[in-house]
Chain A
Amino acid sequence: MKVPNISADHPNMTFKASLMSATELDRALKRVAHEIVERNKGIGNLALVGVHTRGVPVAERLADLLHKFEGTRPPVGKLDITLYRDDLTEIALQPIVRRTEVDFNVHGTRIVLCDDVLFTGRTTRAALDALIDMGRPASIQYAVIVDRGHRELPIRADYVGKNVPTSASEIVLVKLKEIDGSDAVELWERD
Protein backbone atom coordinates (compact mmCIF):
# COMPACT_ATOMS: atom_id res chain seq x y z
CA MET A 1 0.00 0.00 0.00
CA LYS A 2 1.44 3.33 -1.05
CA VAL A 3 0.81 6.04 1.49
CA PRO A 4 2.46 9.43 1.18
CA ASN A 5 4.68 10.68 3.96
CA ILE A 6 2.20 12.86 5.81
CA SER A 7 4.51 15.55 7.12
CA ALA A 8 6.51 15.97 3.91
CA ASP A 9 3.21 16.07 2.06
CA HIS A 10 1.97 19.05 4.04
CA PRO A 11 4.61 21.78 3.69
CA ASN A 12 2.16 24.34 5.09
CA MET A 13 2.29 22.88 8.57
CA THR A 14 4.49 23.69 11.56
CA PHE A 15 5.49 21.18 14.22
CA LYS A 16 4.20 22.19 17.68
CA ALA A 17 4.67 19.38 20.17
CA SER A 18 5.25 15.71 20.66
CA LEU A 19 2.15 14.13 22.20
CA MET A 20 3.32 10.53 22.63
CA SER A 21 6.63 8.77 22.18
CA ALA A 22 6.92 5.28 20.70
CA THR A 23 7.08 3.84 24.24
CA GLU A 24 4.05 5.80 25.38
CA LEU A 25 2.10 4.69 22.32
CA ASP A 26 3.01 1.08 23.04
CA ARG A 27 1.93 1.42 26.69
CA ALA A 28 -1.37 2.99 25.67
CA LEU A 29 -2.10 0.16 23.22
CA LYS A 30 -1.33 -2.42 25.93
CA ARG A 31 -3.72 -0.69 28.31
CA VAL A 32 -6.43 -0.56 25.63
CA ALA A 33 -5.94 -4.29 24.93
CA HIS A 34 -6.39 -5.04 28.64
CA GLU A 35 -9.48 -2.86 28.77
CA ILE A 36 -10.96 -4.75 25.79
CA VAL A 37 -10.41 -8.08 27.59
CA GLU A 38 -11.86 -6.72 30.83
CA ARG A 39 -14.96 -5.17 29.33
CA ASN A 40 -15.74 -8.22 27.17
CA LYS A 41 -14.78 -10.75 29.88
CA GLY A 42 -12.34 -12.40 27.50
CA ILE A 43 -12.12 -12.26 23.73
CA GLY A 44 -14.61 -14.96 22.73
CA ASN A 45 -16.65 -14.03 19.65
CA LEU A 46 -14.58 -10.84 19.29
CA ALA A 47 -13.14 -9.40 16.08
CA LEU A 48 -11.17 -6.24 15.28
CA VAL A 49 -11.80 -4.04 12.26
CA GLY A 50 -9.35 -1.31 11.27
CA VAL A 51 -10.40 1.70 9.23
CA HIS A 52 -8.07 2.35 6.25
CA THR A 53 -5.34 3.59 6.41
CA ARG A 54 -3.90 3.88 9.91
CA GLY A 55 -6.68 2.06 11.68
CA VAL A 56 -5.46 -1.16 10.06
CA PRO A 57 -2.08 -1.37 11.87
CA VAL A 58 -3.83 -0.28 15.09
CA ALA A 59 -6.18 -3.27 14.78
CA GLU A 60 -3.29 -5.62 13.89
CA ARG A 61 -1.27 -4.50 16.93
CA LEU A 62 -4.20 -4.84 19.29
CA ALA A 63 -4.81 -8.34 17.88
CA ASP A 64 -1.15 -9.24 18.54
CA LEU A 65 -1.42 -7.95 22.12
CA LEU A 66 -4.70 -9.84 22.71
CA HIS A 67 -2.98 -12.97 21.39
CA LYS A 68 -0.19 -12.43 23.92
CA PHE A 69 -2.54 -11.80 26.86
CA GLU A 70 -5.30 -14.30 26.08
CA GLY A 71 -3.63 -17.00 23.97
CA THR A 72 -5.80 -16.63 20.85
CA ARG A 73 -5.70 -13.97 18.15
CA PRO A 74 -9.04 -12.46 17.21
CA PRO A 75 -9.70 -12.08 13.47
CA VAL A 76 -8.79 -8.71 11.93
CA GLY A 77 -10.66 -6.99 9.09
CA LYS A 78 -9.88 -3.91 7.02
CA LEU A 79 -12.59 -1.42 6.23
CA ASP A 80 -12.52 1.19 3.48
CA ILE A 81 -15.18 3.81 4.14
CA THR A 82 -14.71 5.93 1.00
CA LEU A 83 -18.02 4.87 -0.58
CA TYR A 84 -19.82 5.79 2.65
CA ARG A 85 -18.41 9.30 3.13
CA ASP A 86 -20.99 12.07 3.43
CA ASP A 87 -18.90 14.61 1.51
CA LEU A 88 -18.13 12.56 -1.62
CA THR A 89 -20.01 14.78 -4.03
CA GLU A 90 -18.68 18.01 -2.52
CA ILE A 91 -14.96 17.42 -2.36
CA ALA A 92 -12.54 18.58 -5.03
CA LEU A 93 -10.22 15.59 -5.18
CA GLN A 94 -11.30 12.07 -5.78
CA PRO A 95 -10.38 9.68 -3.01
CA ILE A 96 -8.95 6.34 -4.04
CA VAL A 97 -11.23 3.50 -3.07
CA ARG A 98 -9.47 0.57 -1.48
CA ARG A 99 -10.58 -2.96 -0.84
CA THR A 100 -12.60 -3.82 2.22
CA GLU A 101 -11.33 -7.13 3.57
CA VAL A 102 -13.57 -8.59 6.24
CA ASP A 103 -13.20 -12.35 5.89
CA PHE A 104 -15.18 -13.37 8.96
CA ASN A 105 -18.93 -13.33 9.47
CA VAL A 106 -19.91 -9.99 10.97
CA HIS A 107 -23.32 -11.31 11.96
CA GLY A 108 -23.53 -11.87 15.73
CA THR A 109 -19.86 -10.92 16.28
CA ARG A 110 -18.65 -8.39 18.85
CA ILE A 111 -16.68 -5.92 16.77
CA VAL A 112 -14.03 -3.50 17.99
CA LEU A 113 -13.66 -0.79 15.36
CA CYS A 114 -10.13 0.70 15.41
CA ASP A 115 -8.78 4.00 14.14
CA ASP A 116 -5.94 6.40 14.83
CA VAL A 117 -7.68 9.71 15.56
CA LEU A 118 -11.25 10.50 16.60
CA PHE A 119 -12.12 14.05 15.49
CA THR A 120 -15.51 15.06 14.02
CA GLY A 121 -16.95 11.53 14.18
CA ARG A 122 -17.90 11.54 10.50
CA THR A 123 -15.46 8.77 9.58
CA THR A 124 -16.87 6.73 12.46
CA ARG A 125 -20.43 7.29 11.21
CA ALA A 126 -19.38 6.08 7.75
CA ALA A 127 -17.58 3.06 9.24
CA LEU A 128 -20.65 2.09 11.28
CA ASP A 129 -22.81 2.21 8.13
CA ALA A 130 -20.29 0.14 6.19
CA LEU A 131 -20.08 -2.48 8.96
CA ILE A 132 -23.82 -2.77 9.38
CA ASP A 133 -24.25 -3.27 5.61
CA MET A 134 -22.19 -6.45 5.99
CA GLY A 135 -24.48 -8.02 8.57
CA ARG A 136 -25.78 -7.47 12.08
CA PRO A 137 -22.94 -7.43 14.63
CA ALA A 138 -23.80 -8.34 18.26
CA SER A 139 -22.18 -5.04 19.24
CA ILE A 140 -19.72 -2.47 17.95
CA GLN A 141 -17.14 -0.89 20.26
CA TYR A 142 -14.70 1.79 19.22
CA ALA A 143 -10.97 2.09 19.99
CA VAL A 144 -8.78 5.05 19.00
CA ILE A 145 -5.26 6.16 19.81
CA VAL A 146 -6.13 9.86 20.14
CA ASP A 147 -9.44 11.58 20.87
CA ARG A 148 -8.88 15.21 19.92
CA GLY A 149 -12.41 16.55 20.50
CA HIS A 150 -14.53 18.75 18.15
CA ARG A 151 -17.27 16.18 17.55
CA GLU A 152 -19.91 17.03 14.95
CA LEU A 153 -21.95 13.88 15.61
CA PRO A 154 -23.07 12.12 18.81
CA ILE A 155 -20.24 9.57 18.78
CA ARG A 156 -17.77 8.53 21.48
CA ALA A 157 -14.95 6.04 21.78
CA ASP A 158 -15.03 3.12 24.24
CA TYR A 159 -11.23 2.88 24.41
CA VAL A 160 -8.93 5.91 24.12
CA GLY A 161 -5.12 5.87 24.10
CA LYS A 162 -4.90 9.57 24.97
CA ASN A 163 -7.34 12.47 25.20
CA VAL A 164 -5.80 15.59 23.64
CA PRO A 165 -7.56 18.97 23.77
CA THR A 166 -6.86 20.72 20.45
CA SER A 167 -7.86 23.83 18.55
CA ALA A 168 -9.55 23.48 15.15
CA SER A 169 -6.45 24.73 13.28
CA GLU A 170 -4.24 22.06 14.81
CA ILE A 171 -3.56 18.66 13.27
CA VAL A 172 -2.86 15.47 15.16
CA LEU A 173 -0.51 13.15 13.28
CA VAL A 174 -0.35 9.55 14.41
CA LYS A 175 2.71 7.97 12.82
CA LEU A 176 2.91 4.20 12.78
CA LYS A 177 6.01 2.25 11.80
CA GLU A 178 4.07 -0.06 9.45
CA ILE A 179 3.21 2.96 7.29
CA ASP A 180 5.41 5.89 8.33
CA GLY A 181 8.60 4.10 9.36
CA SER A 182 8.45 5.03 13.06
CA ASP A 183 5.96 5.41 15.92
CA ALA A 184 5.01 8.86 17.27
CA VAL A 185 2.02 11.05 17.95
CA GLU A 186 2.61 14.72 17.11
CA LEU A 187 0.72 18.00 17.21
CA TRP A 188 1.11 20.28 14.16
CA GLU A 189 -0.36 23.65 13.31
CA ARG A 190 -1.72 24.72 9.93
CA ASP A 191 0.12 27.88 8.80
Chain B
Amino acid sequence: MAAVTVAPNDATTSVTSNEAPREGSPRRGRKQHLLDFTDWSKEEALALLDTSDVMAQVLTRTIKKVPALQGLTVATLFFEDSTRTRLSFDRAARAQSADVMSFAAGGSSLTKGESLRDTLRTLDQLQADLYVVRHPAAGVPHQLARWTNAAIVNAGDGRRAHPTQALLDAYTFRNRFGGNGAFEGRRLAIVGDIDHSRVARSNIELFTKLGAEVALAGPATLVPREFADLPGVTVSNRLEEAVEGAHAVMALRMQSERMTRGLIPSFAEYVARYQVTSEVIKLAHPDAIVMHPGPLVRDLEVASDVADGERSVIEQQVANGVPTRMAVLYTLLVGQR
Protein backbone atom coordinates (compact mmCIF):
# COMPACT_ATOMS: atom_id res chain seq x y z
CA MET B 1 0.00 0.00 0.00
CA ALA B 2 1.11 3.54 -0.59
CA ALA B 3 2.86 4.89 2.44
CA VAL B 4 0.85 8.07 2.34
CA THR B 5 -2.52 6.37 2.49
CA VAL B 6 -4.19 6.79 5.82
CA ALA B 7 -7.23 4.54 6.10
CA PRO B 8 -8.42 5.04 2.53
CA ASN B 9 -12.02 4.62 1.51
CA ASP B 10 -11.25 2.21 -1.23
CA ALA B 11 -9.13 0.22 1.19
CA THR B 12 -6.04 -0.97 -0.63
CA THR B 13 -6.70 -4.44 0.51
CA SER B 14 -5.11 -7.77 0.16
CA VAL B 15 -8.65 -9.13 -0.03
CA THR B 16 -10.52 -7.62 -2.94
CA SER B 17 -14.13 -7.73 -3.95
CA ASN B 18 -16.36 -6.00 -6.44
CA GLU B 19 -19.46 -6.64 -4.41
CA ALA B 20 -21.46 -3.68 -3.29
CA PRO B 21 -22.00 -3.41 0.47
CA ARG B 22 -24.96 -5.55 1.42
CA GLU B 23 -28.25 -3.75 1.87
CA GLY B 24 -29.00 -3.47 5.55
CA SER B 25 -31.71 -1.74 7.46
CA PRO B 26 -31.42 2.03 7.18
CA ARG B 27 -29.55 3.50 10.12
CA ARG B 28 -30.87 7.01 9.82
CA GLY B 29 -27.39 8.22 9.01
CA ARG B 30 -25.97 6.46 11.99
CA LYS B 31 -22.84 4.42 11.77
CA GLN B 32 -22.99 0.66 11.53
CA HIS B 33 -19.28 -0.02 11.58
CA LEU B 34 -16.06 1.44 12.91
CA LEU B 35 -13.53 0.40 10.26
CA ASP B 36 -11.55 3.64 10.43
CA PHE B 37 -12.56 7.28 10.88
CA THR B 38 -12.81 8.11 7.16
CA ASP B 39 -16.61 8.33 7.12
CA TRP B 40 -16.95 9.64 10.67
CA SER B 41 -17.43 13.39 11.02
CA LYS B 42 -15.59 15.45 13.62
CA GLU B 43 -18.88 15.79 15.53
CA GLU B 44 -19.47 12.04 15.50
CA ALA B 45 -15.95 11.43 16.76
CA LEU B 46 -16.41 14.01 19.53
CA ALA B 47 -19.73 12.36 20.45
CA LEU B 48 -17.82 9.10 20.94
CA LEU B 49 -15.50 10.91 23.36
CA ASP B 50 -18.49 12.38 25.24
CA THR B 51 -20.09 8.96 25.55
CA SER B 52 -16.71 7.63 26.77
CA ASP B 53 -16.94 10.13 29.65
CA VAL B 54 -20.28 8.68 30.74
CA MET B 55 -18.91 5.15 30.46
CA ALA B 56 -15.82 6.08 32.50
CA GLN B 57 -18.16 7.20 35.25
CA VAL B 58 -20.07 3.91 35.13
CA LEU B 59 -16.73 2.21 35.82
CA THR B 60 -16.31 4.22 39.05
CA ARG B 61 -19.61 3.01 40.55
CA THR B 62 -20.04 0.30 43.18
CA ILE B 63 -21.60 -1.92 40.54
CA LYS B 64 -19.52 -1.40 37.41
CA LYS B 65 -22.11 -2.74 35.04
CA VAL B 66 -25.15 -1.38 33.22
CA PRO B 67 -27.81 -3.34 31.32
CA ALA B 68 -27.57 -1.28 28.10
CA LEU B 69 -26.54 -4.14 25.78
CA GLN B 70 -28.45 -6.93 27.48
CA GLY B 71 -29.40 -9.67 25.04
CA LEU B 72 -26.82 -8.65 22.44
CA THR B 73 -23.77 -10.72 21.54
CA VAL B 74 -20.30 -9.42 20.75
CA ALA B 75 -17.88 -11.82 19.05
CA THR B 76 -14.15 -11.12 19.13
CA LEU B 77 -12.39 -12.46 16.04
CA PHE B 78 -8.64 -12.29 16.49
CA PHE B 79 -6.52 -13.61 13.65
CA GLU B 80 -3.47 -12.04 15.28
CA ASP B 81 -2.20 -12.04 18.87
CA SER B 82 -3.43 -9.43 21.27
CA THR B 83 -3.72 -9.19 25.02
CA ARG B 84 -4.88 -5.71 25.93
CA THR B 85 -7.13 -4.99 22.99
CA ARG B 86 -9.04 -8.24 23.25
CA LEU B 87 -9.39 -8.04 27.05
CA SER B 88 -10.40 -4.41 26.80
CA PHE B 89 -13.20 -5.16 24.30
CA ASP B 90 -14.26 -8.12 26.41
CA ARG B 91 -14.53 -5.93 29.50
CA ALA B 92 -16.29 -3.17 27.54
CA ALA B 93 -18.93 -5.59 26.28
CA ARG B 94 -19.50 -7.27 29.64
CA ALA B 95 -19.72 -3.95 31.51
CA GLN B 96 -22.80 -3.27 29.39
CA SER B 97 -24.21 -6.77 29.94
CA ALA B 98 -23.55 -8.03 26.40
CA ASP B 99 -22.63 -11.67 25.93
CA VAL B 100 -19.16 -12.32 24.52
CA MET B 101 -17.92 -15.08 22.22
CA SER B 102 -14.21 -15.41 21.53
CA PHE B 103 -12.64 -16.72 18.38
CA ALA B 104 -8.90 -17.14 17.94
CA ALA B 105 -7.49 -18.15 14.57
CA GLY B 106 -5.03 -20.60 16.11
CA GLY B 107 -6.88 -23.79 16.97
CA SER B 108 -9.83 -22.92 14.70
CA SER B 109 -11.11 -24.52 11.52
CA LEU B 110 -9.07 -21.95 9.58
CA THR B 111 -6.00 -24.08 10.28
CA LYS B 112 -7.92 -26.96 8.66
CA GLY B 113 -8.32 -24.96 5.47
CA GLU B 114 -11.70 -23.30 6.00
CA SER B 115 -11.96 -20.02 4.12
CA LEU B 116 -12.48 -16.72 5.90
CA ARG B 117 -15.91 -16.37 4.32
CA ASP B 118 -17.05 -19.82 5.43
CA THR B 119 -15.77 -19.13 8.94
CA LEU B 120 -17.82 -15.95 9.05
CA ARG B 121 -20.90 -17.77 7.69
CA THR B 122 -20.55 -20.31 10.48
CA LEU B 123 -20.16 -17.60 13.11
CA ASP B 124 -23.17 -15.71 11.69
CA GLN B 125 -25.30 -18.75 12.52
CA LEU B 126 -24.35 -18.17 16.17
CA GLN B 127 -26.07 -14.78 15.85
CA ALA B 128 -23.44 -12.30 16.87
CA ASP B 129 -24.64 -8.69 16.67
CA LEU B 130 -21.15 -7.23 16.42
CA TYR B 131 -17.74 -8.56 15.46
CA VAL B 132 -14.51 -7.14 16.80
CA VAL B 133 -11.95 -8.07 14.16
CA ARG B 134 -8.16 -8.10 14.15
CA HIS B 135 -6.34 -9.44 11.12
CA PRO B 136 -2.78 -9.20 9.77
CA ALA B 137 -4.09 -8.24 6.31
CA ALA B 138 -5.34 -4.71 5.63
CA GLY B 139 -8.96 -4.48 4.52
CA VAL B 140 -10.27 -7.69 6.08
CA PRO B 141 -12.74 -5.86 8.37
CA HIS B 142 -14.11 -4.00 5.31
CA GLN B 143 -14.53 -7.28 3.50
CA LEU B 144 -16.30 -8.89 6.47
CA ALA B 145 -18.65 -5.89 6.60
CA ARG B 146 -19.78 -6.78 3.08
CA TRP B 147 -20.44 -10.37 4.08
CA THR B 148 -22.50 -9.92 7.23
CA ASN B 149 -25.34 -7.78 8.53
CA ALA B 150 -23.69 -7.56 11.93
CA ALA B 151 -21.70 -4.49 12.97
CA ILE B 152 -17.93 -4.59 12.57
CA VAL B 153 -15.32 -2.93 14.74
CA ASN B 154 -11.80 -2.95 13.37
CA ALA B 155 -9.39 -3.90 16.16
CA GLY B 156 -6.38 -3.59 13.85
CA ASP B 157 -5.94 -4.62 10.21
CA GLY B 158 -2.39 -4.96 8.94
CA ARG B 159 -0.65 -1.62 9.04
CA ARG B 160 -3.79 0.18 7.89
CA ALA B 161 -5.93 1.17 10.87
CA HIS B 162 -6.55 0.64 14.57
CA PRO B 163 -9.31 3.15 15.24
CA THR B 164 -10.14 2.28 18.86
CA GLN B 165 -6.48 2.75 19.85
CA ALA B 166 -6.62 6.23 18.30
CA LEU B 167 -9.90 6.89 20.11
CA LEU B 168 -8.46 6.00 23.50
CA ASP B 169 -5.38 8.09 22.73
CA ALA B 170 -7.59 11.07 21.81
CA TYR B 171 -9.64 10.49 24.97
CA THR B 172 -6.45 10.43 27.08
CA PHE B 173 -5.28 13.62 25.35
CA ARG B 174 -8.63 15.34 25.90
CA ASN B 175 -8.70 14.39 29.58
CA ARG B 176 -5.38 16.19 30.00
CA PHE B 177 -6.13 19.29 27.97
CA GLY B 178 -9.82 19.63 28.75
CA GLY B 179 -12.94 19.80 26.66
CA ASN B 180 -13.66 19.40 22.98
CA GLY B 181 -11.44 22.38 22.18
CA ALA B 182 -8.50 20.35 23.50
CA PHE B 183 -7.33 19.52 20.00
CA GLU B 184 -7.40 22.89 18.24
CA GLY B 185 -3.95 24.41 17.97
CA ARG B 186 -2.30 21.55 19.88
CA ARG B 187 0.25 19.12 18.55
CA LEU B 188 0.84 15.39 18.83
CA ALA B 189 4.33 14.09 18.06
CA ILE B 190 4.59 10.45 16.97
CA VAL B 191 8.04 8.89 17.09
CA GLY B 192 9.41 5.69 15.60
CA ASP B 193 8.30 3.16 13.04
CA ILE B 194 5.47 5.14 11.43
CA ASP B 195 5.41 3.17 8.20
CA HIS B 196 4.54 -0.20 9.75
CA SER B 197 2.17 1.27 12.31
CA ARG B 198 -1.62 1.13 12.13
CA VAL B 199 -1.63 3.00 15.44
CA ALA B 200 0.20 5.90 13.79
CA ARG B 201 -2.13 5.94 10.77
CA SER B 202 -5.28 5.95 12.88
CA ASN B 203 -3.91 8.60 15.23
CA ILE B 204 -2.91 10.82 12.31
CA GLU B 205 -6.42 10.45 10.88
CA LEU B 206 -8.28 11.11 14.11
CA PHE B 207 -6.12 13.87 15.62
CA THR B 208 -6.06 15.92 12.41
CA LYS B 209 -9.83 15.42 12.04
CA LEU B 210 -10.28 16.78 15.56
CA GLY B 211 -8.18 19.84 14.72
CA ALA B 212 -4.74 18.96 16.09
CA GLU B 213 -1.44 18.97 14.21
CA VAL B 214 0.66 15.83 14.02
CA ALA B 215 4.47 15.85 13.82
CA LEU B 216 6.16 12.62 12.81
CA ALA B 217 9.79 11.70 13.54
CA GLY B 218 11.88 8.61 12.90
CA PRO B 219 14.50 7.12 10.60
CA ALA B 220 13.88 7.96 6.93
CA THR B 221 13.44 4.25 6.18
CA LEU B 222 10.50 4.11 8.58
CA VAL B 223 8.93 7.56 8.05
CA PRO B 224 8.19 8.06 4.36
CA ARG B 225 8.26 11.72 3.29
CA GLU B 226 4.86 11.27 1.61
CA PHE B 227 3.18 11.53 5.01
CA ALA B 228 3.93 15.27 4.87
CA ASP B 229 1.39 15.55 2.03
CA LEU B 230 -1.42 14.88 4.50
CA PRO B 231 -3.05 18.05 5.81
CA GLY B 232 -1.86 18.99 9.30
CA VAL B 233 1.07 16.58 9.21
CA THR B 234 4.79 17.36 9.29
CA VAL B 235 7.67 14.92 8.91
CA SER B 236 11.15 15.11 10.33
CA ASN B 237 14.09 12.78 10.79
CA ARG B 238 15.13 14.66 13.91
CA LEU B 239 13.33 13.73 17.13
CA GLU B 240 14.00 17.18 18.67
CA GLU B 241 12.24 18.93 15.79
CA ALA B 242 9.02 16.94 16.24
CA VAL B 243 9.00 17.12 20.04
CA GLU B 244 9.64 20.84 20.37
CA GLY B 245 6.47 22.46 21.70
CA ALA B 246 4.42 19.24 21.32
CA HIS B 247 1.56 18.63 23.78
CA ALA B 248 1.88 14.87 23.59
CA VAL B 249 4.77 12.64 22.58
CA MET B 250 3.79 9.17 21.46
CA ALA B 251 6.51 6.57 21.01
CA LEU B 252 5.72 3.53 18.87
CA ARG B 253 6.88 -0.01 19.33
CA MET B 254 10.13 -0.91 17.58
CA GLN B 255 10.25 -4.49 16.39
CA SER B 256 13.51 -6.38 16.05
CA GLU B 257 12.55 -7.58 12.58
CA ARG B 258 12.96 -3.99 11.37
CA MET B 259 16.62 -4.31 12.23
CA THR B 260 17.09 -7.72 10.61
CA ARG B 261 15.48 -6.35 7.44
CA GLY B 262 17.99 -3.53 7.43
CA LEU B 263 15.56 -0.68 8.05
CA ILE B 264 17.50 0.45 11.10
CA PRO B 265 21.24 -0.17 11.56
CA SER B 266 21.04 -1.26 15.22
CA PHE B 267 18.96 -0.80 18.34
CA ALA B 268 21.84 1.17 19.85
CA GLU B 269 21.74 3.69 17.03
CA TYR B 270 17.95 3.91 17.21
CA VAL B 271 18.14 4.55 20.97
CA ALA B 272 20.78 7.23 20.48
CA ARG B 273 18.70 9.16 17.96
CA TYR B 274 15.05 8.42 18.70
CA GLN B 275 14.59 7.27 22.27
CA VAL B 276 12.22 9.55 24.19
CA THR B 277 14.40 10.69 27.10
CA SER B 278 13.89 13.19 29.90
CA GLU B 279 16.35 15.48 28.05
CA VAL B 280 14.23 15.50 24.88
CA ILE B 281 10.99 15.93 26.79
CA LYS B 282 12.30 19.26 28.14
CA LEU B 283 11.76 20.62 24.61
CA ALA B 284 8.06 19.72 24.67
CA HIS B 285 5.24 21.88 25.98
CA PRO B 286 5.43 22.26 29.81
CA ASP B 287 2.18 20.24 30.22
CA ALA B 288 3.12 17.60 27.67
CA ILE B 289 2.19 13.96 28.19
CA VAL B 290 4.12 10.86 27.09
CA MET B 291 2.16 8.06 25.43
CA HIS B 292 2.90 4.56 24.18
CA PRO B 293 0.41 2.09 22.72
CA GLY B 294 2.18 -0.90 24.29
CA PRO B 295 3.65 -3.36 24.64
CA LEU B 296 6.53 -1.20 25.82
CA VAL B 297 10.10 -2.40 25.50
CA ARG B 298 11.78 -0.57 28.36
CA ASP B 299 14.73 1.66 27.54
CA LEU B 300 14.29 1.12 23.81
CA GLU B 301 11.50 3.42 22.62
CA VAL B 302 11.13 5.31 25.90
CA ALA B 303 13.68 5.75 28.70
CA SER B 304 12.52 4.04 31.89
CA ASP B 305 12.52 7.23 33.96
CA VAL B 306 10.21 8.86 31.40
CA ALA B 307 7.91 5.83 31.12
CA ASP B 308 7.49 5.82 34.91
CA GLY B 309 7.67 9.61 35.25
CA GLU B 310 4.93 12.10 36.02
CA ARG B 311 4.28 12.94 32.36
CA SER B 312 3.67 9.32 31.43
CA VAL B 313 0.04 8.40 30.76
CA ILE B 314 0.86 4.91 29.49
CA GLU B 315 -1.15 3.18 32.22
CA GLN B 316 -4.08 5.60 31.78
CA GLN B 317 -4.12 4.72 28.08
CA VAL B 318 -4.74 1.07 28.95
CA ALA B 319 -7.43 2.04 31.49
CA ASN B 320 -9.07 4.40 28.99
CA GLY B 321 -9.38 1.55 26.49
CA VAL B 322 -12.41 0.24 28.37
CA PRO B 323 -14.70 3.32 28.47
CA THR B 324 -13.83 4.31 24.88
CA ARG B 325 -14.59 0.80 23.59
CA MET B 326 -17.80 0.80 25.66
CA ALA B 327 -18.75 3.99 23.82
CA VAL B 328 -18.01 2.39 20.44
CA LEU B 329 -20.08 -0.72 21.21
CA TYR B 330 -22.93 1.39 22.58
CA THR B 331 -22.91 3.74 19.60
CA LEU B 332 -22.92 0.93 17.04
CA LEU B 333 -25.41 -1.35 18.78
CA VAL B 334 -28.05 0.90 20.31
CA GLY B 335 -30.93 2.24 18.29
CA GLN B 336 -30.39 0.01 15.27
CA ARG B 337 -33.71 -1.65 14.82
Which of the 9-residue segments B53-61, B157-165, B228-236, B271-279 touches chain A? B53-61
The 8 closest A-B pairs by CB, nearest first: A94-B335, A83-B66, A83-B68, A133-B63, A97-B54, A88-B334, A94-B334, A93-B335
B contact face: mostly helix, strand, loop, or mixed: loop
A136, closest chain B residue (CB): B62
Q: Is the CB of B30 within 8 A of A94?
A: yes
Task: Supply 16 further A-B pairs (C-beta < 8 A) apart from A88-B334, A88-B335.
Answer: A83-B54, A83-B58, A83-B330, A84-B66, A84-B68, A85-B68, A89-B72, A89-B333, A90-B337, A91-B335, A93-B335, A97-B330, A98-B54, A134-B61, A134-B62, A134-B63
A95 within 8 A of B: yes
Q: Is the CB of B96 within 8 A of A83?
A: yes
Chain A proximity of B51: nearest CB distance (Å)? 6
Q: Which residues of A contact B (CB under 8 A)?
A: 80, 82-85, 88-100, 129-130, 133-135
B11 within 8 A of A: no
When distances are taken between beta carbons in the complex, the residues of chain B under 8 Å from A85 are: 68
When distances are taken between beta carbons in the complex, the residues of chain B under 8 Å from A98 are: 54
Chain A proximity of B335: nearest CB distance (Å)? 3
Q: Is the CB of A100 within 8 A of B57?
A: yes
Q: Which residues of B contact A (CB under 8 A)?
A: 28, 30, 47, 51, 53-54, 57-58, 61-63, 65-72, 96, 330-331, 333-337
CA A99 – CA B58 in complex, angstroms?
9
Contact of B335 among A92, A99, A133 (CB under 8 A): A92
Q: Is the CB of B53 within 8 A of A99?
A: yes
Q: Is the CB of A80 within 8 A of B337?
A: no
CA A155 – CA B54 in complex, angstroms?
28
With A89-B71, A91-B337, A92-B335 as known contacts, state yes or no: A133 contacts B28, CB within 8 Å: no
A99, closest chain B residue (CB): B54
Q: Is the CB of A89 within 8 A of B337?
A: yes
Chain A proximity of B97: nearest CB distance (Å)? 9
When distances are taken between beta carbons in the complex, the residues of chain B under 8 Å from A83 are: 54, 58, 66-68, 96, 330
Q: Is the CB of B62 within 8 A of A135?
A: yes
Q: Is the CB of A133 within 8 A of B66?
A: yes
Chain B proximity of A90: nearest CB distance (Å)? 6
With A88-B334, A92-B335, A93-B28 as known contacts, state yes or no: A80 contacts B54, CB within 8 Å: yes
